Every structure is written in structure tokens, then in C-alpha cells.
Structure 1
Amino acid sequence: MTTQQHKGIHTFQTSFGTISAIKENSVIRAKSIRYARSQRFKKPELLEYLGNHEIPDKTPVCPQNISPLLDRLIQKTEVKQFVPDESPQFLTITRPEHFYDDEKLPVIVWIHGGSYEIGCGDLPTSDPSVWVKEQDIIVVSISYRLGLFGFLGGDEERPPNLGLYDIIAALQWIKKYICEFGGDPENITLFGQSSGGDAIAHLMISEGTDHLFRRAIIHSAPLGFRINRQKMSSEFFRKTDFLKGEPDPLKMVESYSDFLPSFRKYGLKTSMPFCTQYGHPPLCREEKALEKWQQNAGKYDVLIGSNKDETAFYVKTAQTGIYTYLPHRILNKIVRKTTESIYEKPAKTFAENLAAGGGNVYQFVIQSKLKNNYIGASHCVDLPLIFENKEAWQSAELLKDVPWEYIQENGQKLRALWAEFARTGVISEDSERPEILKLKKVKN
């Protein structure tokens, strides 16, 4: 690999092709590199050679509906910055501007959340530049198929888990080419939040993932939603069958939401209608999953945890529905119960199961220490701590009562710990902890 510099532009000469990248704020970012292509409802085909890659004007994303809730929670979606692409297999590499030629930096692969329905890997609110500069790491942010295109299926014509296959293809690409960008292909850590964390958990037991990564950092994975989904998924699959031949992917995503209310009979899991599906490649049957995780426990170092008040934003800031009429003490009980059932208890079971299999496992909780923070440590509050970007997060209602200095102080310490884990698989007892963090090694 050779690197040329010219007016803020870097060019990587690699065996994959000539890759143009942006140099700014002491990092180099190679944005929206296509790693695979796919046809509708087909597995991705990994690219072997791209040719010339130019810096794109807009970020490609899987076709999706805009979420008014996330617009309030995090940031209003600027639609003009994105372009829908039904084959959204792209990745962005962010690495330090300066390092030694023979240095092989730890690689962290960011797998975004969004209920397997919305989002992409390359967003201002998941900009890893600060983390990359502080810790001398490489972060690769990946995008993959979502919703109807990636996480709903039931037969050979519309197979499930295509989004999972996209992620596997991205990991294969990273394993092969990241050394040409200064990364260590033998030290790859997957880092995911929400459904991204759920995806990582299932990559640990997927066919075809051996030796693609060594470590996993799993934030706020809704593992309580992973079980007993077959009936709901089958009904959703049948009711959306008429959309499979729709030539306009945007019409597809506009139409499927009409069928979501009928799933309320399936309980809380209807809030995440798309998910990985057991019993279909690359996954085992649901009843074999815990056994499979335990069998694979020795392959991966795992850091898993959640926020103390995961469901608080959804419950306490609801603008319609029953939550708007309930007193605070009842809302607090709802937050505690749903956080425990969807996130905390399943994470504890997951961690203890891995430890019983001989795995190296840490478990954490992020909590708020601010007195006047009404929603506390809600879902996604960990993101600005890791991806410090004041401009991107300044309008987030999630941080309404949180001073930015509090985010900076705690975030810097948290980023250092997570980078330590990514380098070594260990977090030293002597390493400084932020006050918001409770962390323990899970023992067998």
C-alpha cells in the first residue's frame, strides 16, 4: 500500500483498487467503499476488485422509512445527504493521519443499530474520529441490507438473514484488505449497539464466521426479543409477499408499515418486527442457540452490557398513548421492568452462559449520576460517549438535561477502556473507570 497526499485528499493504492479518502481533523476517512453487490433477495457477492473509488457526494443507505422517534431521540434526518440503494453494501474506514508504515493497528468494526430497519454505518452521530485519534485505532463502519430486504424471509425465493450475510461479506473484505490501510487483520473487534449488538451475538454462532474476528463489544442488545418470533415473522412474511415484485424499493418500505398494527398480539417484540431468524442459514435452530454460544465461548473475548434506563426515552417522553397519562412512579416501574426483561436479564444469561463455556467475558452497566436528568441513562446514551461529536448531538432530546462536559469527561475514559479491550481482550483493574460505569469480569 502507498499513500499520496494532496490538499486534504489521500489516495490508497491497494490490491482492491485506487481508493480516494478525505484527510481532516487528524484522521483519514475512506468513505463508502463498496465491498459487495446483491440482487433483491439474493446473497451478496463479494467484490474482488473495485478499480477507482472516488469520494461520494452522498451517503448510500438501504431504502427505509424515516423514524420521527429517532429524529427526536438523536438527530433530525437530513434526507438530502443520503441516496437510497437496494444494494447498500458499503463500508467506511477511519484511521489516524500519522502512524508508522510497519504498524498494524487494532481494528474495530462498527455495526449500527436501528431495529434491523433503519440507519446506516456512516452517520455524523457515529463519527469515530475522536476515538480514532485518541486511541490509535482503525474503525470500519459498515452498512448492510435492512427490513424487507435483509431481515424478513421464509422460503428460497425470499430467504431470511440476508443482512447477516452482508455483514459476513464485509468481515471477509476487512480480513483480506484492512492490512493495506494499516490495520491488523488478526486483531478485529466487532462493536455494535442495539440491533447491531444483537447481530454480533448471532455472528458468534453463524456458519462461515470462523477467524473473521477475535472480540465482541455488545451494547444494549435487545436479546429479550430474539426468542419465540417464528409465528410473528411468518405472518409478517405472508402479509408482505405481494411486495416482493414491486420495482420501486421506496414503495416497498412505504407499504409494509400498514401491516404492523396487526402484530400487537405478539407483545413487546412487535416494536422490533425485523430480526435474525433461527433455523435458516447461517443460524442454527433456536433451541440450539445457547448450546452453540457455549461451545464457541473460547473463540471470542466478549464485553457486553446495557444502560440502566434503556426504555426511559420511549416511555417517559411519549407524545401519544397511555404513557402520557401515567404518573411518574408508574412510568419508573415500567422502565425498570422492561429494561430488565428486554436487556439486562438476557445479557446476564448470555454472559454467564459464555463464562460457563470457558469464555473471557466482561459485563457492564452505564448509569446516570446527574440529579436533574429525567430520563437517566436511556437507550442510545452510550453513543455520544463513544462517538463524541458535539455538532451532531447538540439537538438530541436524549441529552436535553446532560451537560456536554459530562459527556466529554466520561466518554474519554470509556473510549480508553473499550480500546484497551479491543487491543488485548482484557481490562486492567488499574485502568481508570468513568463514574457512570459499573464493570465486572464474569466468572464461571
Structure 2
Amino acid sequence: MTLDTLVVDTPSGPVRAEHTDGLLHARGLRYARARRFEPCVPVPTWTETVDATRRGPACPQLPSRIESVTGPMLTGLDLYEDCLRVSVTAPTPDGRVRPVLVWLHGGAYVSGGGESEKYDPEALARENDVVVVTVTYRLGILGYLGIDSVAPANLGLLDQIAALRWVRDAVGAFGGDPDAVTVFGHSAGADSIAALLVADGTQGLFHRAVLQSAPLALRGDATAMSAAMGTAARAALGDDPGGLSIDDVLAAHTAALAAATDFGFASGMAFGPQYGEHPLPPFGEIAARRAASATSVEVLIGWTSDDGSPFVEAIPRLQRLAHLPVVGSTLRRLLTAIVTRRAFSAPATAFADAHRAAGGRAVTYEFSWGADDSGVGACHSIEIPFLLGTPQAWSDAPMLGAHAASALAELGPRLRRRWADFARNGVTFAETDHLTLG
């Protein structure tokens, strides 16, 4: 293996990227800056070469509730509010243009980061001759909650839009085609894509979309819940929100989450895009907006066979049922199936049906592989190691069990090729309306 660097002249200024065996890694690039509780602004241009050989930070956050299946997601990353970064992985620029895939990480809008080693897209880019961009955006109270006299809603969504504008303007310098951009995301990242499809200012920024395990049922009309959360956060932030330590801001984040618990099922993903607040339409206009965008964006949307499994353990009432003597294991399987259908598979199917009815092209999928010895089956997040990261990066993920190497080696290239083929060709006439993967 040879290790070198290469200077890339972007529209913002020159950057020094890592160049390894025909693949370029430009890491931790700022696509915007933002003051606490304010919308982001573009980064000024520069003339001195910027180092892009180190991973950027993640947004400050509390521990993820599904690390019990994925393992730690942020190992080695700093947590800073100045976190608006993208990383680009691309074949060495050679004058040709390639399809672009933009990754929006999940984490219920409260955890995760695009710079995670578990999201490294080297295999996806190398095997399929595509450019991959990973995005880090603001989370939780810093990114999504409207707070009276403190913060507008949807700052994290505006971050994502700013990142997509950066891709439009800059990805050509890395050999990417700004007219062939596919956004793909998992969980909250997939839910973000559903919001981006109807948001103001996103037209033409992406042309295809892959929604992996989007918890669309959790993002109904959350106006009342968001108002209660905003009130609790405002009280916890006190008189000087901008001057608080990040620990105090996260304490206010926790207070807002506590206020959401009275709202039942929706509190499972309490933070998130607020409809009726810029740049999103009112909740009642979503269907019409989605229909209007259907013919301009092709969609691949799906779920895993046991998507609900980690949440049975995460919700105390369900956890108690799943651990009852004698009947617990049966109840766990039943509860997993119910949560999977209610939160993931049924809403995804309805989304695809509506997209097709409005004249768009859409395919659903189900990913069915699960480790026999993990106890969680084909759970939420199980497909990600087959798309992103390396087996070593995912070696601490309990959901993969102890014997996943052969499955990763066999199924990983196939799944990555499927995603890349969709990015390159969209929904072809050879496709069916539904795919079984894994």
C-alpha cells in the first residue's frame, strides 16, 4: 500500500487530501459554520491549502441508546459544536464524472456523526467507481428544537441542505457529477430525506434517494410535543443560553426529552424536523408536497426483518413483557414484529405506494440477514456494516454475533453494488416493486 497526499482545488480553496492506492479521502471539510442556536452560513473562501487528512468532530451528544447492538459509534472522534463537516471518498480524479452518494447518518436526531469509522465508504467507492460524501450535522437541542426567543426549529435540517449545496458546488472537483446525486440515509437520516423531499430550497440538489429503516410513523404531527419540549428547554436554559457550558445545554436537552414522555409512541424520536417551521410546510401539506416531487426523485425505501428488535429492549414497558418467565421469548418475537410493522415496514410501503401513485418510481426492499447468535436477528442497523465501514470497525457490534465474516464478505459487495447501481441507473425496468435482500 502506498500513502500519499494530493491537493484538490475546490471552489472554496485548495485542500490537501489523503491519496491511497487510487482512492482519495478528503476528511473533515467544513461546509458551513454556525453560532449556537443560529442558522449556519457558508464558509468564506480561502487561499492557503487546508489540511483534509484527519477526521472531523461529531456534534456534542449523550450516549446512543442502541449501542447495545451497534457498539460505540464515535470512537476516536472529538465532540465539538463546530461540527458542520463533510468527508469525501472518491477514485482519483481522472477527468471522468461519477455518480455521487451522500450519506446522512442516523441516531434518532440525537446521536451519531458522519465521520465515524463505521461509516467509512472506502469499499463502496472503490468497488463501484462512485464518489461518496458523508455529512455531520447538528443534533438534538442544538439542531432541531424550536425554543422561544432562543432558537428557530430545524437548524439540523438547514445544515443538511447547506451540505447538499456544498456537494452541488464542490463535488465536481473530486470527480463527482452534481447532476447525479443520490442521498442515502439510515433511521433519522432516512427520515431526514423524507423531510428534504418537501423542504423549500432543495429542488435539484438530489435526484435519487435511499431511505433505510425510516421511522416515518414516529414523525406524525408533533406540534404539541415540540411545544412542550420547547417550554421545558427554555426554562432549563435560563437567561444566558449562549453562554452556558455544553454540559448545561445537554442538561436542557434531557429536560426537553422528559417533557416528551407524556406523548406516548411519538416520544420514541422526540427531536426531529418540525413541520410548519422554515423550511418545512405545515403537516397537512406534506402529502401534496411529496406528490409534487415524486417525478423528480426516484426512491428505494426499505426495512430490516427485525427492525423493531432493539426498541423492545429500549422501551421499559415492552422490555418487562419480553423478559417475563416462560412466555417472554414468544412475546419478544411478537413485540418485535409489531414494532417493525408499525414503525418501519407499513409506513415505508405506504410511502412507496404514494410515490408511485403520484407518477414517481419507487422500489421497496427488506433486508433479512441476521446473526444466529446475536439474539436480535435482522435488527435495526444490521445492514449498515454491509454498506459502510470495515469488518474491523464493526468487530465490537453485538448485532453481528461472532461469525459474521463470511456473510460480510459475501453479501457486502452485493449490497454495495445494488446501492451503487441505483445511484447510477435509478429504478430500471428490470426491477420489481419489492426486493428481498440478505
Match of residue 71 from structure 1: 67
CA distance in 2, matches of 1:144, 1:388: 19
Give the aligned length.
427
Match of residue 111 from structure 2: 118
Deviations 1:142-180 (A, max 9, x none): 111111111111546411011111111111111011111
CA distance in 2, matches of 1:77, 1:111: 14
Runs of 5+ consecutive residues of structure 2 not aligned to the other structure: none
Match of residue 278 from structure 1: 275
1:292 aligns with 2:295: no
Match of residue 302 from structure 2: 305
User: Contact 2:104–2:136 at 8 Å: present in 1 too?
Assistant: yes
CA distance in 2, matches of 1:369, 1:85: 35
1:19 aligns with 2:15: yes
CA distance in 1, matches of 2:414, 2:35: 43
CA distance in 1, matches of 2:292, 2:252: 41
SS in structure 2 at match of 1:363: strand
SS in structure 1 at match of 2:393: helix
User: Contact 2:371–2:378 at 8 Å: present in 1 too?
Assistant: no
Q: 2:139 aligns with which of 143, 146, 151?
A: 146
Q: CA RMSD in A?
A: 2.4
User: Contact 1:420–1:427 at 8 Å: present in 2 too?
Assistant: no
Distance 1:236 1:271, change over 3 A: same
Shift of residue 210 of structure 1? Answer: 1.0
Identity %: 30
SS in structure 2 at match of 1:218: strand
CA distance in 2, matches of 1:370, 1:399: 6
Shift of residue 140 of structure 1? Answer: 0.5
Match of residue 82 from structure 2: 87
Under a length normalisation based on structure 1, what TM-score does the superposition of the two structures give? 0.90
Match of residue 131 from structure 1: 124
Match of residue 425 from structure 2: 424
Shift of residue 88 of structure 1? Answer: 1.6
User: Contact 1:108–1:422 at 8 Å: present in 2 too?
Assistant: yes
Deviations 1:166-206 (A, max 9, x none): 11111111101111111101100001000000001110110
CA distance in 1, matches of 2:418, 2:74: 33
Match of residue 25 from structure 2: 29
What one-letter code is carried by the residue in structure 2 that aligns with 1:88?
C
Match of residue 232 from structure 2: 239
User: Contact 1:106–1:188 at 8 Å: present in 2 too?
Assistant: yes
SS in structure 2 at match of 1:31: strand
Shift of residue 75 of structure 1? Answer: 2.5
Distance 1:111 1:77, change over 3 A: closer
Shift of residue 15 of structure 1? Answer: 3.0
Match of residue 351 from structure 1: 352
Match of residue 250 from structure 1: 247
Match of residue 441 from structure 1: none
CA distance in 2, matches of 1:313, 1:41: 32
SS in structure 2 at match of 1:332: helix
Runs of 5+ consecutive residues of structure 1 not aligned to the other structure: 1-5, 438-444
SS in structure 2 at match of 1:338: helix
Deviations 1:385-415 (A, max 9, x none): 1114011111101111552211221121111
What one-letter code is carried by the residue in structure 2 that aligns with 1:411?
G
Distance 1:32 1:74, change over 3 A: same
Match of residue 100 from structure 2: 107
Distance 1:150 1:387, change over 3 A: same
Distance 1:157 1:323, change over 3 A: same
Q: Kindly report which structure 2 residues correspond to 1:407-422, keeping only aligned pairs within 5 A, or say none.
A: 407-422=408-423
What one-letter code is carried by the residue in structure 1 that aligns with 2:283?
E
Match of residue 342 from structure 1: 343
SS in structure 1 at match of 2:57: strand
Shift of residue 261 of structure 1? Answer: 3.7
Q: Kindly report which structure 2 residues correspond to 1:175-254, keeping only aligned pairs within 5 A, or say none.
A: 175-241=168-234, 242-243=236-237, 244-254=241-251
Shift of residue 248 of structure 1? Answer: 1.5
User: Contact 2:58–2:115 at 8 Å: present in 1 too?
Assistant: no
CA distance in 1, matches of 2:371, 2:256: 41
Match of residue 400 from structure 1: 401
CA distance in 2, matches of 1:136, 1:61: 28
User: Contact 1:203–1:209 at 8 Å: present in 2 too?
Assistant: yes
Q: 1:53 aligns with which of 35, 47, 50?
A: 50
Shift of residue 345 of structure 1? Answer: 1.1
CA distance in 2, matches of 1:63, 1:372: 33
Shift of residue 428 of structure 1? Answer: 6.0
Distance 1:323 1:122, change over 3 A: farther
Shift of residue 34 of structure 1? Answer: 0.5
What one-letter code is carried by the residue in structure 2 that aligns with 1:342?
A
**Greater mean deviation of Cα atoms: 242-251 or 211-220:** 242-251
Match of residue 315 from structure 1: 312
Distance 1:66 1:316, change over 3 A: closer
CA distance in 1, matches of 2:154, 2:168: 21
Shift of residue 89 of structure 1? Answer: 1.2
What one-letter code is carried by the residue in structure 2 that aligns with 1:34?
R
Shift of residue 132 of structure 1? Answer: 0.5
Match of residue 440 from structure 1: none
**Greater mean deviation of Cα atoms: 223-232 or 42-51:** 42-51
What one-letter code is carried by the residue in structure 2 that aligns with 1:107?
V
SS in structure 2 at match of 1:275: coil
SS in structure 2 at match of 1:179: helix
CA distance in 2, matches of 1:369, 1:41: 41
User: Contact 1:318–1:324 at 8 Å: present in 2 too?
Assistant: no
User: Contact 1:385–1:410 at 8 Å: present in 2 too?
Assistant: yes
